[in-house]
Every structure is written in structure tokens, then in C-alpha cells.
Chains A and B, each alone.
Chain A
């Protein structure tokens, strides 16, 4: 139960961060990606701030050796750069660049822009479900659950 409550509270905090930073504003995201136009570099500060705090959390968790509410830390251990990683990141970048929405903001936008966000989220879930039709290699299927 504690794990479920903490996940809920952390989801809220994550959403507050998306709202406060304007990461959940597609126009702001596209302006950040428009490096060769009227560039708005603001969102670099989102990633910078987030990476610093998340790395501190990682160091603390590693030092602790386990999670406070769970027996182990579920951290991906793969190091190889495989074709799936490259192709998946490229397809993701294309979709993100087309409208400026990535998965977290898509969910947070559902109550703010219900029509547009529900079309996007439904399509995103279909895209995720279609991934399950891709043949899994032995290594990929055993490691899939541990992926970020």
C-alpha cells in the first residue's frame, strides 16, 4: 500500500514539474526544438535541473543498496547500442517534433486539452501495443521489463 501511495504522490509531483516548467505546453516544446528559428532555450533548464536531482537520487539509492519501500532497485543494466535503440529513438524524435508532445505531458494534457490529448494518447497506446507485435529476441524479451 505504501508503494502505491508513494507512486501516486510522485506522479503528482512529476505532473507539477511538467506544468510549472511548461514542458506540458506543446508550443513551448516546439519553440525549444526550433533551434534554427525563433529559438526559446528555456526547456534546456528543465532537463538540466531534472538530470542533476535525478543523478543525486541515483547516487543515494546506490549507496543505500535497496529501495526504502521495495526489496531491490530495478535499474536497467544493458550497455550495448543496438539497432532497436537507434531506430526507436529516431521514430520517437520524429513523432515528438511533429506536435511537441511526449508521453508524460500527453497524460497531463488530458484534462487541459481533452479533445487533442485524448486523440494523441489513444494513438500512443496503440503504438505501444503494436510494439508487442515486433518479434522479441531472447535477450530483448528477458530485459524488456527492466527497460526505462
Chain B
């Protein structure tokens, strides 16, 4: 159980949306993390630098966030190594096969009214909710 935090969630969401809007307006690219990462496997000449720079920004965000005087947000993760491996494989493969993830489909795609992104988001949300239901209330009961 975590506390209901609508204001900080909305503030963070506005920042994520602003990042997506700026990447499209300035660089002409969709801020889909799995697409940006996948485009580096393998890197293509002339197309890799902006991807590496974006990923570097994401990686350094916690350090910069702390440097600006914010406390490093508390995070909590309880998962065994085998579970981390399986879920990582599924997330990476699934995002590429389905042409996007939470950011590419859920934020950018829905934001421009893409039918493919609406369908993909509805499917991954429903499957994720069902997965949590099974692991917490069926298997974990």
C-alpha cells in the first residue's frame, strides 16, 4: 500500500509531457524510451549521438535532482534475481515487438490520437493489472 499523491504525480507527469513535447518540437523525434534505446542496437552513424545524450540525461537525472536540493526519492523494489531477468527480457522484447512502451505509446502516441497506441496501451495496462492480480491475490494469497 502506498499513499495517494495526486499533486506530485501530476507535477511529474507535466514534466514528462513537457519533455515529450520538447523532443518533438526541437529534435523532431518521439520520446519513446524503448525506441530511443532500440535504435542503438546497433548504433547507426549520424543517428546515435542524440540517443546517447538522451539516455545520459535519464541516467544522470537522480544525481542532478539531488544537486538541485531535492531528497533522492524513496524507492522500493522486492524482486528476486530470476524475476528481474524474466521481467527485463519480457519488457525489452515486448516493447520492440509492439513498437513502443509506456512513454512511446502511453504518452506520445495517445497524445497525438494514434489508434495503434491507444490499442497497445489498453492491452499492456490490462495485462499488467491482471498480472498484479494473479501474483498478489491468487498466487500470493
Per-residue CB contact flags for chain B residues 82-95 toward chain A (1 = under 8 Å, else 0) read 01111111111111
The total of Cβ contacts below 8 Å across the A-B interface reads: 509
Given A90-B127, A147-B99, A74 and B29 touching (CB < 8 A)? yes
Instruction: Tell yes or no: A139 within 8 A of B by CB.
Output: no
Q: Is the CB of B2 within 8 A of A31?
A: yes
Q: Which chain B residues border A89 with CB–CB below 8 Å?
A: 94, 98, 105, 119-121, 123-124, 127
Q: Which chain A residues border B129 with CB–CB below 8 Å?
A: 33-36, 97
A16, A58, A89, most chain B CB atoms within 10 A: A89
The docked-state distance in angstroms from the alpha carbon of A23 to that of B106 is 13
Interface residues of A in 42-60 (CB under 8 A from B): 42-58, 60
The docked-state distance in angstroms from the alpha carbon of A125 to that of B116 is 24
Q: Which chain B residues border A72 with CB–CB below 8 Å?
A: 28
Interface class of chain A by DSSP: helix
Given A23-B16, A42-B9, A55-B111, A148 and B30 touching (CB < 8 A)? yes
Given A17-B14, A119-B85, A98 and B90 touching (CB < 8 A)? yes
Size band of the interface chain A makes with B: 35 or more
The docked-state distance in angstroms from the alpha carbon of A121 to that of B27 is 26
Instruction: Tell yes or no: B60 within 8 A of A by CB.
Output: yes
CB distance from A137 to the nearest CB of B (A): 13
Q: Is the CB of A69 within 8 A of B115?
A: no
Instruction: Tell yes or no: B45 within 8 A of A by CB.
Output: no
Given A79-B116, A108-B62, A33 and B14 touching (CB < 8 A)? no
The docked-state distance in angstroms from the alpha carbon of A70 to that of B9 is 32
> A11-B61, A104-B101 are known contacts; what are 16 more A-B pairs with Cβ within 8 Å?
A15-B61, A17-B16, A20-B73, A22-B8, A35-B133, A42-B5, A42-B8, A53-B14, A58-B108, A94-B128, A102-B91, A112-B75, A120-B84, A120-B87, A124-B88, A131-B96
Residues of A within 8 A of B (CB): 3-28, 30-31, 33-38, 40-58, 60-61, 64, 66-76, 78-81, 84-104, 106-113, 116, 119-132, 134, 144-145, 147-148
State the 8 A-B residue pairs at the shortest beta-carbon distance, nearest first: A11-B57, A57-B21, A15-B61, A21-B12, A88-B98, A127-B92, A123-B88, A97-B131
